[in-house]
Amino acid sequence: MNLRFRGRVVSTRLFCFLALWPVVAVAQSPEPAAVSAPAPSPIVSPEAEGDAPASERFGIRVDAPSPALQAFLLRHMELQRFRTLSDLDAGELDRLLVAAPENLRDLLGTQGYFSPEISVIREPAAPAGGASPSLGEVLVRVTPGPTTQVAAATAYLSGDIASADAAAGQREALRQRSQQAVGQGFTQAGWSRLKSDLLRELTAERYPRGRIVNSLSDIDNRANQAFWHIELDSGAPVTVGEVRLNGAERYDPVTVQRLVRLAGLGPGTDYSLTRLQDAQQRIVDTGYYSSVFAYVDLDATDNDQAAPAPVVVQVKEAPLQSIVLGVGGSTNNGPRLSAEHKHLRLTGLGWQALSKLQLERNDQLLSSDWTAPIEDKGWQWLAGGRLARQINDETTVSSLRLSLGKSQPTARLDRRYFVQYDRARTVNTVSALASSDGNEAAVSANYGWTWRRFDTLPYPNEGYGLGLTLGVGTTLDGARKPFFTSQARWLAYWPLGSAPTVAADNRPSDITAARSRLGRLALRLQGGAVLAQQSAPIPDTQLFLTGGDNTVRGYGLRDIGVEQPDGSVTAGRYLAVASFEWQRPIWREGVRTDWESVLFVDAGTVTNRTTPSTARVGVGAGVRYNSPVGPLQLDLAYGVTPKRLRLHLNVGFSF
């Protein structure tokens, strides 16, 4: 490959050697906030302000156009290493000052300044009794000159990827990724980041043995331009073979093999890091294993790189049975006590069983959910039963629900169908209109879908989710009357403004740090309908109430329903809820924190009529904390109708 050199040519190896230690330091130290001032002023090291410690032999001052550049040079110049040498004399310091400009030139080069003007002089020490160090102060004056821009970034491909039809999309992705650097200011960190990003893009699909063969950063000092050249060798494509499970004793290894294949890594398929990670997550989600590590064993095919590479899954099995006791609370229901028992392989059946008892101020629940091992096409049988009691002011709803069906969960689409039996009894201590005789029962057949297209979870910045459930059934009380149910959920995020690609200190940014300062807009919609004759005795558990932390804030849990003439509230046949939020990251000294501010408006209504009805509205503000377990939400909402404030607390993200 013939490359034309312009002006000062900096090879990757030479450049990294000269800039290694300052670049590493930059990657570990945040850039200070910019200082607003009418004109640049010298930054003085903390040790040079006031009385210098006795161990300091000389002080350092840096005069540069920007506070950020001043702090960068002051932090990383080699002279800092010699300030505490007790036996340093004036002659040795003068010799160090001769070499200082070259070190400063290398530092400035890592930030894209290749034509700087640098002067380093030593000012004599103050008279005896003064506050200056004994060898005086070193004054560094820097005029960095123009910033070098990346004029071209070219990725050269060799190996199978250069001509394989199956790799056309990957070739285009590599080309586009390299072009993203064009027009940016040159930095050594940016140059290193581009190389690592291209290598990651290459090795993520089909070519895990890919490598960087050669790289060159060509600097044209006269034009202040950088030309980047990176040569990548993909090697031979890798296909996956059999699944080897290590560490499994108690649970059926066939489940792991099925999950790897369902993730798209069947025998003979192309290697994919994304699919491998998906398979690993699917295995974790089964609950059979407390730890899972999946990888493709490339060493097994060293003698024949065309042979399929086995997928190795290293696991640590979870206990067969476990009990979890919990204490918690919520703004909706107050204190909470819970107990869960999990059995991962029921004798004679092989299903999992999760039984739960939960006691709260307004809700009590006893449930048991059984799950069969996953089948070849990803479906699995589900069975469940629950006894529940819900207290809403003067109304108490006691219910029984039994269900049996199958589901097919995936990362982006869940499907399920099930048969459900419901029985409910409603008792209102002050209103006969809000009470039932306890015989409302129904059976229904249902089918549901859930689509998820969020960019990142559990902290989405862009994308949408849509859930639909449709059902048809009949009441079982006296004359059987048919009914039809439908429920829909929608959640969407729209980012505002453009997001930076790197953090303020030139380190590679993570997903959240690269998001726009303006944040995002979020829209949540929820609707439901039960279509039946007015006289049909539909169980309350098939009808709708709303209000609370995750619906209409500013109102209590299930406070919004159909108002009766005596003032009581009952469940209704039609539901509509909308919520609009502006979620904005909180920044501190130029760095994005784990906190966000939120402004929101919620509205919802429940009715028994198809004609428009008055919605209940709540407005407020809150904060979000991006904790390791998911978003922690704290909102203060004002309910417009009750004219009161409510505090709402919620943890986690789910759709």
Residues 115-125 pLDDT 10s: 899 999 988 87
Contacts of 39 (CB under 8 A, 6+ apart): none
pLDDT digits (tens, 9 = 90+) for 42-96: 444 444 444 444 477 888 999 999 888 988 998 999 998 888 888 888 888 888 9
CATH assignment of 370-651? 2.40.160.50
The candidate with the shortest Cα–Cα distance to 529, out of 470, 482, 481, is 470
Alpha carbons 276 and 542: distance in angstroms, whole number: 41
Level-2 CATH architecture, domain 149-233: Roll (3.10)
Distance of CA 488 to the CA centre of its chain: 25
List every span in the chain annotated with CATH 3.10.20.310: 149-233, 240-317
Please report the pLDDT score of residue 432 as a whole number. Answer: 63
pLDDT digits (tens, 9 = 90+) for 454-478: 988 888 899 999 999 999 999 997 7
Q: How confident is the model at residue 544 (pLDDT cuts 50, 70, 90)?
A: very high
The answer to whether 399 and 412 have CB atoms below 8 angstroms apart is: no
Distance of CA 655 to the CA centre of its chain: 15
pLDDT digits (tens, 9 = 90+) for 599-618: 999 999 999 988 878 899 99
Phi-psi domain of 350 (left: phi exceeds 0; alpha: psi -120 through 50; beta: other): left
pLDDT over 80 at 282, yes or no:
yes
Alpha carbons 343 and 250: distance in angstroms, whole number: 13
Please report the pLDDT score of residue 455 as a whole number. Answer: 87
Level-2 CATH architecture, domain 240-317: Roll (3.10)
Q: How confident is the model at residue 505 (pLDDT cuts 50, 70, 90)?
A: very low
Alpha carbons 563 and 569: distance in angstroms, whole number: 5
